[in-house]
Structure 1
Amino acid sequence: MSAHRAPRPARRLLVGGRPTARWLIRRRWDVRVRHAERFPATGPAVVAANHIGFVDGPLMAIFAPRPVHALTKIEMFKGPLGPFLRASGQIPLDRDHTDPGAVRIALRVLHEGDAVGVFPEGTRGPGDLETFRGGAAYLALVTGAPVVPLTFLGSRDPGGSSGSLPRKRARIDIVVGEPYVVDAVPWPRTRENVRLTSAALRDHMQQQLAVALDETGRSLPGPLPQGERDE
């Protein structure tokens, strides 16, 4: 799968707009980034996070220690937010089908030494990482990029719906975990390679999640309200 022919996501707004975006967001919420020093200062990185709230994607792109091109469900690009998402370098992803185009774009970003964001759970929910897809592991296996766990806490209030926002002045913690190093595996990479790497990565991320909960004294928001699913 050639990444070099894939389009390069926009970057100017993603980089230049972050200080202003942080200022605006912090006027509404108390966003705290913990252990930013764990984030690799240079080189490719796969940023993998739990997914509990509507604002997790923007928070990842804006508050991670380095700019992140996050894989974002393609439905978000079909509405009025679409032009902004493209201008800010986010990568549209078809969650319901294999999406080689999105993978090629993500690999190009990594090959050029930048960061790609992934939500392995695939959708918003309790954020406990019990559901875990193999995309982050695959990107790491192809490129050898370290996987940097992020834990989001407070980006959805307990009992809040999938599209809800935290209450005003709420504290949102973004905890950078210890990176997980994966050696690049040359082609052909088997499904078993991806499965085993993904299982080990999930164990690591769940450990980092437990540490983050203990350190912050916080808890996850619980499942989405009964009968609701993230569309």
Structure 2
Amino acid sequence: MEGVYPLCNFLQKGTLRIFGDWKVTGAENVPPTGPLVIVANHMSNMDPSLLAVSISRRIRFLAKDGLFKLRVAEWFLRSYGAFPVNREGVDVSAYRWTLDQIKSGGVIVLFPEGTRNHGRLIQAKSGVANLVMRTKAPILPVGITGTERLGSIFRVLNPTGRIRVNIGEPFSLPDIEGKPGKDVMESMMTMVMHKITDLLPEEYHGVYTRASD
């Protein structure tokens, strides 16, 4: 149902304005058209919906498959733009779905850490670099602060406190000839994560804290 996405965003904006102190900076950095991969730090179940109301374009994202067990939950999540992913191993169907979304000019949100952190960045997975290198899609970094206090999915109804979404400028990964090795992939992911840390206060940097921080 196409109406689920705008309705949920309307309601989410309402709760953020009533209960929280929500502010978006850098909205002008979002490309109006074309494929796009959004990368962000991840601290709460409400991060996808927060990005949905903060980004001017329709987004889609991956969600852990356990959330899709109930039929009504599966219907809602798919209608909202989510696709199930098994985080225990390599999920080929989720990977192909993500590639298809990007190749068709869509906007995909990826959380490089692969799971929620507790307010400080943790080690990222290499999947984001692999996807981007295959599609050549531009990357839009986003830094989120304030949602670490909103762990429960039900906090989407009561998102209190200071919440900030800081949108950076799009960038691209350098072209690599041949199949990149592990060291190259790790270097690419470090580049991606540093783009995110540039948008976050120092206390959120975690394992990506640099000597100059």
Common fold by TM > 0.5? yes
Say if 1:177 and 1:142 are closer, same or farther in 2 by CA, change over 3 A: same
Which is worse superposed, 184-193 or 78-87? 184-193
Residue 87 of structure 1 aligns with which residue? 79
Say if 1:19 and 1:119 are closer, same or farther in 2 by CA, change over 3 A: closer
Structure number with the higher helix fraction is 2
Say if 1:17 and 1:163 are closer, same or farther in 2 by CA, change over 3 A: closer
**SS class of match (1:69):** strand
Residue 21 of structure 1 aligns with which residue? 11
Residue 137 of structure 1 aligns with which residue? 129
The count of corresponding residues between Structure 1 and Structure 2 is 202
* Counterparts of 1:182 and 1:156, CA distance in 2: 29
* Counterparts of 1:75 and 1:33, CA distance in 2: 31
Q: Does 1:204 align with 2:195?
A: yes
Given that 2:62 and 2:85 are in contact with CA atoms closer than 8 Å, whether structure 1 keeps it comes out as yes
Deviation for aligned residue 1:65:
2.4
1:72 to 58, 63, 68: 63
Say if 1:13 and 1:95 are closer, same or farther in 2 by CA, change over 3 A: farther
> Relative contact order (alpha carbons < 8 A, sep ≥ 6): 1 or 2 greater?
2
Deviation for aligned residue 1:144:
0.9
Q: Which amino acid aligns with 1:51?
A: H
Deviation for aligned residue 1:193:
4.2
* Counterparts of 1:127 and 1:68, CA distance in 2: 24
* Counterparts of 1:184 and 1:93, CA distance in 2: 28
Q: Which amino acid aligns with 1:181?
A: S
In the alignment, structure 2 segments of 5+ residues that lack a partner are 207-213
Q: Which amino acid aligns with 2:145?
A: L
Cα deviation 1:100-159 (Å, max 9, x = unaligned): 1111111111111111011111111234333111122112111111111111111132xx
Given that 2:140 and 2:167 are in contact with CA atoms closer than 8 Å, whether structure 1 keeps it comes out as yes
* Counterparts of 2:121 and 2:155, CA distance in 1: 21
State, as a whole percentage, how many aligned pairs show the same letter.
Answer: 27
Q: How do residues 220-231 of structure 1 correspond to structure 2 at under 5 angstroms?
A: 220=204
Cα deviation 1:137-196 (Å, max 9, x = unaligned): 112111111111111111132xx7566738654221111122221256687555454333
Q: Does 1:170 align with 2:161?
A: yes
Q: Which amino acid aligns with 1:179?
A: P
Q: How do residues 32-181 of structure 1 correspond to structure 2 at under 5 angstroms?
A: 32-79=23-70, 80-157=72-149, 165=155, 169-181=160-172
Which is worse superposed, 184-193 or 104-113? 184-193
Deviation for aligned residue 1:24:
3.1
In the alignment, structure 1 segments of 5+ residues that lack a partner are 1-9, 223-231
Residue 211 of structure 2 aligns with which residue? none
CA RMSD between the two structures: 2.8
* Counterparts of 1:109 and 1:208, CA distance in 2: 26
